Structure 1
């Protein structure tokens, strides 16, 4: 399908340009903000791809409207659906592709006002980044045809063969800022909470094994060869599984459910059993809010339920509630005992919707 000049073609070309620019930036070793730039431009690429499809199929109706039916206007422009809404309205993406996109939408929101200066984050999400790009091209071809394929425009990124030593890695980890640690916690938590079949899908995260070709091959063969899983023999698949067993890095789940986790009532009881016995549910709610332990009614309506302080709390999706670490009840007790916090402190901060830096109160 070759498009004529118009809004659809303009959106599509802009989408492709964003994708190509994201790859160009990502593959430049000395380019600043490589990871942030790749994510931001790929979010733009996906958004404009789906908007181009809407413009072609349903016309210019992919805009938000006010209750009176008029278009919502921001800075004299109609407010178009952002990517999250586009995904819902499109409704044709697989669970794995949607999960990959939702991961990057949330990560983009987290890094928007931060600088990722460490390579660890880029290395951690390389598989997800590769899937984000592959999924984009697959959807591009599905919607507009192979004429718009961009794989011939891309080059396989050259990699240095010498990996850093364990000492170098450990030394670098010591320099990680608090913000980067929070991003790593978010990535690990997000991966742990998705379905096993989605995590193992190539649409969520590409898993690559780089093996030198040492067999006798034609001198005209490509240096890099991508093999379709479906074309492998049973023997080759078994050998592949043996390799992936050695390199698989996802934390394996066990049959023990929520070990060592406490419900709110247990936290309150533990505090009361070891202090003056006047700590109640409202007091606990105030502390959860002012220290940003978990989303509460005082936060914005659409805050992600997984946005917790993983050191003290996590969201239990199966039961749609929150469970706490013993360290949380110990944190409360320690600060009550030392006189650092009291009811007037947390109630006044909660009433004024003031957040408090928890690190100040974690110092022993």
Structure 2
């Protein structure tokens, strides 16, 4: 499954080598001549286009990681282009003695966090970034910092981050056009990505469980905490995360209609919004935000109780240990690679330094007892050798 990123009378005067065109509302749009500002802006746009191209190529490794890093670079360069046009070369860090900080002999320019802060407090003709836009940027700054310092498998995060990734791009396009005008719009360069298959709830659930294993756990906790800590009004904003409902256009379709159309929520009538909410209620899974981790996961004692409740057989803690060792569901306590589990059945809980088990593990043990001749008396004998899941499906 690949989810694609998609884009969706004047007066003039001259100042510091730049041409400003005043459009509707009297807000100046910066029109660039050749020079450093234009070069920085072109680098920003090229970075954004490369990010989208990378994300939409299904066989590219580390595509979501590269997308995030390139979009952070695109946003940073966009700010630098604006600062270059407005305040000149003053968007660089300085030492306490007033000299510029340097890295490999080059002045160190403001990073994205600093750019946002400086832009928001500037006196300017343009509006500040909204809180949802800033929340989206800060979310990805945190993600970028984590993926730069560790290896992680990003494919399982594509589904969870798609909305935020799409908003990151839409917000970039909006900010770019706000500052520099429609001539720099990049939406005509981009296409809606083709899809290979339908996304099923079962696949989503497995992807979420995969996130709980190995090096993914830390970044998953960051994502969960960031989202749950957001005010509801920001979380619901399309500027923070695009929520798409993909419904095929089946009937009453004009042959001249576009195959894909994006509907602006703000342009809908109240009646259309009510109808949309009714559609969502019919087809979407209900998601409840909980301030809790490891929901629906079981400690060994709870596994034993669940098995007894289903079969009437009470296995011991030792019997349970023999089973997970024989099927290699998790590593032993002294193993260095504590995250090396069969994520369908078990995950490592790092804060508590122990292991938790899934309902599927309970069902598997029940299946052994009811259909494959396992009993409380022979578990020790049967588990003396390595056992394969495929033999007991």
**Fold equivalence (TM over 0.5):** yes
Q: 1:247 aligns with which of 284, 292, 304?
A: 284
What is the CA–CA distance in structure 1 between the aligned matches of 2:192 and 2:217, rounded to whole Å?
30
Q: Relative to structure 1, is the Cα distance of residues 167 and 241 closer, same or farther in structure 2, using a 3 angstrom cutoff? A: closer
Q: 1:253-295: CA deviations, max 9, x gaps?
A: 69x9xxxxxxxxxxxxxxxxxxxxxxxxxxxxxxxxxxxxxxx
Relative to the length of structure 1, the TM-score reads: 0.67
What is the CA–CA distance in structure 2 between the aligned matches of 1:9 and 1:171, rounded to whole Å?
42
Asked whether the equivalents of residues 212 and 220 of structure 2 are also in contact (C-alpha less than 8 Å), the reply is no
Asked whether the equivalents of residues 62 and 154 of structure 2 are also in contact (C-alpha less than 8 Å), the reply is no
Query: Is structure 2 residue 102 aligned with structure 1 residue 73?
Result: yes
Q: 1:16 aligns with which of 38, 45, 53?
A: 45
Structure 1 residue matching 2:50: 3-state secondary structure = helix
Q: Which has the larger radius of gyration?
A: 2
Query: Is structure 2 residue 179 aligned with structure 1 residue 150?
Result: no
Q: 1:109 Cα shift?
A: 0.4
Query: Is structure 2 residue 141 aligned with structure 1 residue 112?
Result: no
Q: 1:208 aligns with which of 244, 259, 268?
A: 244
Q: 1:139-166: CA deviations, max 9, x gaps?
A: 0000000110000001111112333572
Q: 1:248 Cα shift?
A: 6.4
Q: CA RMSD in A?
A: 2.8
Asked whether the equivalents of residues 36 and 116 of structure 1 are also in contact (C-alpha less than 8 Å), the reply is no
Q: 1:37-94: CA deviations, max 9, x gaps?
A: 0000000000000010000001010001111111111110001100000000000211
Structure 1 residue matching 2:43: 3-state secondary structure = helix
Structure of greater relative contact order (alpha carbons < 8 Å, 6+ residues apart): 2
What is the CA–CA distance in structure 1 between the aligned matches of 2:147 and 2:35, rounded to whole Å?
34
Q: 1:157-205: CA deviations, max 9, x gaps?
A: 1112333572795388358642112211211111000111000000000
What is the CA–CA distance in structure 1 between the aligned matches of 2:205 and 2:182, rounded to whole Å?
43
What is the CA–CA distance in structure 1 between the aligned matches of 2:163 and 2:75, rounded to whole Å?
18
In the TM superposition, 1:1-364 aligns within 5 A as 1-91=30-120, 92-164=128-200, 166=202, 170=206, 173=209, 177-245=213-281, 247=284, 250-252=287-289
Relative to the length of structure 2, the TM-score reads: 0.62
What is the CA–CA distance in structure 1 between the aligned matches of 2:272 and 2:266, rounded to whole Å?
11
Asked whether the equivalents of residues 92 and 101 of structure 2 are also in contact (C-alpha less than 8 Å), the reply is yes
Asked whether the equivalents of residues 47 and 82 of structure 1 are also in contact (C-alpha less than 8 Å), the reply is yes
What is the CA–CA distance in structure 1 between the aligned matches of 2:109 and 2:203, rounded to whole Å?
49
Unaligned runs of 5+ in 2: 1-29, 121-127, 293-348, 355-393
Q: 1:134 Cα shift?
A: 0.1
Q: 1:232 Cα shift?
A: 1.9
Q: Relative to structure 1, is the Cα distance of residues 240 and 185 closer, same or farther in structure 2, using a 3 angstrom cutoff? A: same
Asked whether the equivalents of residues 157 and 211 of structure 2 are also in contact (C-alpha less than 8 Å), the reply is no
Unaligned runs of 5+ in 1: 257-309, 313-326, 331-364
